[in-house]
Structure 1
Amino acid sequence: MGVLVVTGTGTEIGKTVVTAAVAALALAAGRRVAVLKPAQTGVAPGEPGDVDEVARLAGPLTRRELARYPEPLAPDTAARRSGLPPVDPARTAEAAARLAAGHDLVLVEGAGGLLVRYDERGRTLADAARAMVDAGLPVDVLAVAPAGLGTLNGTALTAEALSTRGLPLLGVVVGSWPAHADLAARCNLADLPVVAGAPLLGALPAGCAATGGPAFLAAARSGLAPCLGGLFDPGRFTAHHAAPLPAGVG
Structure 2
Amino acid sequence: MTSPEGLYVYAIVRGVPADPGTGIDGAPLHVVTIDGGLSAVVHHHAGGPYTGADDEVRRWVVEHNDAVDRLWQRRSTLLPMTFNVIVAGTEEESARGRLEDWLTTHAEELLARLDQLDDRVELRVEIGLDQQETARGDPGAEAVRAELEGRPPGVQRLLRKKLDRIERDVTGALADELYQEYRRRLAGVSQELTENRSARAEPGVVPVLSFSLLVRQEEREAVGRELAAIRDEQPAARIRYLGPWPPYSFADVSDAPTS
Check whether TM > 0.5: no
- TM-score between both structures, scaled by the size of structure 1: 0.23
Q: Name the larger-Rg structure.
A: 2
- TM-score between both structures, scaled by the size of structure 2: 0.22
